[in-house]
Amino acid sequence: MLCKKTYKNQITLPKKIMEEFEDYEYFDVKASKGKIILEPVKMTSRDKILLEKVRDKIKALGLTNKDIEDAVSWARKE
């Protein structure tokens, strides 16, 4: 099946594919040998609470997506 990347770098996955993953909200994403690999991740209640705390902290600090992308890029420099 074909997917198209939008100008915001988003990809919509076909409904037929996603029907197999109805119980999943999160996916781990990797790039390997020119391929994008999605692996479903089951979040526990504890994981969701931790994730919400992180999001609240980021919001309280006034960080933007660009700030986070810049920080990740900086941290990954060799």
Instruction: Give 37-75 pLDDT, tens digit per residue.
Output: 999 998 787 877 888 899 999 999 999 989 989 999 999
| Mean pLDDT computed over 22-26 | 89
Given this model, what pLDDT does residue 47 score? Answer: 78
Asked if pLDDT for residue 32 goes beyond 80, the answer is yes
Nearest to 36 by CA among 15, 73, 11: 11
**Position of tokens 């915001």?**
8
Given this model, what pLDDT does residue 46 score? Answer: 82
**Exposure class string for 29-66: b at 16+ Cβ within 10 A, else e:** eeeeeeeeeeeeeeeeeeeeeeeeeeeeeeeeeeeeee
Given this model, what pLDDT does residue 78 score? Answer: 67
Take residue 36 and report the two structure tokens written for it. Answer: 């994008």
